[in-house]
Structure 1
Amino acid sequence: MSTASIDEKLLQGLARAVVEQPRATLQELARTVGISKATLYRLCPTREALIQQLLDHATLLMWRVLEDAGLETGTPAAALTRLVELHLAHRDFMNFLMRYWQPQPVLGSDGYDAWQKHDARLDAFFLSGQKAGVFRIDMSAACLTDAFINLLFGMAESERRGRVARLDLPLIIERLFLQGASRT
């Protein structure tokens, strides 16, 4: 069954449940998200199928975030704000990806290729912002991409664990990314 035929809220709940209960059975996961075991088995007959379905959906969402952020529209600073906010709207899938996505650098591996293209698109965004004088130039665009993604995903995990307030998260990420941890 395709992820398009499964309710977004159900997928989000399953992603959260798998992260918070990594050893849970399908029956326990079904109970957590409020559906019957039979319903979950019809959607995903195995745990591996569930993980793959969530990986596919999360990857699609991360691509949609890049599209919706309008990286080429407006100022790089405004695009960065949109990028942070749109990613955080899918924080359960980000936390899921942190735990379950594994790069598979195999020729023809669609998932790996998709993430390389994702990174290249962010690299181009940060390079454009460097040229506009918004982002620092003493680091490569690829370095900025990796720093941004790791900060974004790491802070989403910190929020999940209750270490950072949800309300403050977008501002914290932007400030840390743009200004670093420097006092100046």
Structure 2
Amino acid sequence: MAMVDNPRASLQELAKAVGVSKATLYRMCPTRDKIIERLFSESVRQFDLAIAAAELETAPVLQAFRALIEGHLCHKELFVFVSNTWEPQLLETSDSEHRWVEFEAIFDKFFLRGQQEGFFRVDISAAALSELMIGMLSALVNSERSGRIAPRDMLDTMEKMFLTGAQRL
């Protein structure tokens, strides 16, 4: 969160923000680029685990969707970092960033399966559903950070808005 809150912070400022000495931070990551690389790598690892736990290819669609959102909310700090830091040119910098393209394909495949099973609407493409899910999740996490939504409400709000929208039924 220190990187998100102060993207131009020096290593000294980042070390202070996370409660370690500059020497400790420097031993772990001697440059700002190494910090970013390490955070992206950890994000990829955690998101891989969340996707695997959701069993997107085999679990009932609603159960898989809910597990996917829960998995990302468990690591919302990493999600905020990625959503606030990611830029297309990062795909060229290291292997871990190539996973983001694979994540999109995994989500697209999940939403297509949900459409084929009659769970998700078919008048919106699977790719659009993937982007909407990521965007809504990002918006909710950022809203929680600013105090506009309670952490305990995030999963239910995401599920209700994504699955049924804002229209009063």
Same-fold status (TM-score > 0.5) = yes
User: Any residues of structure 2 matched to 1:138-149 within 5 Å, and which?
Assistant: 138-149=123-134
1:47 aligns with 2:32: yes
Q: Secondary structure at the match of 1:168?
A: helix
User: Any residues of structure 2 matched to 1:162-181 within 5 Å, and which?
Assistant: 162-181=147-166
Query: Would you say the 8 A contact 1:55–1:100 is kept in 2?
Result: no
1:65 aligns with 2:50: yes
Query: Would you say the 8 A contact 1:71–1:125 is kept in 2?
Result: yes
Q: Distance in 1 between matches of 2:92 and 2:3?
A: 29
TM-score (norm 2): 0.92
2:86 aligned partner = 101
Offset, 1:22? 2.4
Q: Secondary structure at the match of 1:104?
A: helix
1:131 aligns with 2:122: no
Q: Distance in 2 between matches of 1:48 and 1:116?
A: 21
Query: What amino acid is the match of 2:18?
Result: V
Identity %: 43
Q: Distance in 2 between matches of 1:98 and 1:42?
A: 27
Q: Of residues 13, 16, 20 in structure 2, which corresponds to 1:31?
A: 16
Query: Would you say the 8 A contact 1:104–1:112 is kept in 2?
Result: no
Aligned length: 169
TM-score (norm 1): 0.85
Q: Distance in 2 between matches of 1:108 and 1:52?
A: 9
Task: Describe the superposition over 1:61-115 as per-residue Cα deviations: whole angstroms up to 9, x where unpaired.
Answer: 2222111211123310011110111100010001101121112387896355322
Mean Cα displacement is larger for which, 139-148 or 53-62? 53-62
Query: Would you say the 8 A contact 1:126–1:141 is kept in 2?
Result: yes
* RMSD, matched Cα: 1.9
Runs of 4+ in 1 over 4 A off after TM superposition: 105-109
Task: Describe the superposition over 1:94-153 as per-residue Cα deviations: whole angstroms up to 9, x where unpaired.
Answer: 110112111238789635532221111111111111111111111111111111111111
Query: Structure 1 pair 156/107, CA: closer, same or farther in 2 (3 Å)?
Result: closer
Offset, 1:172? 0.3
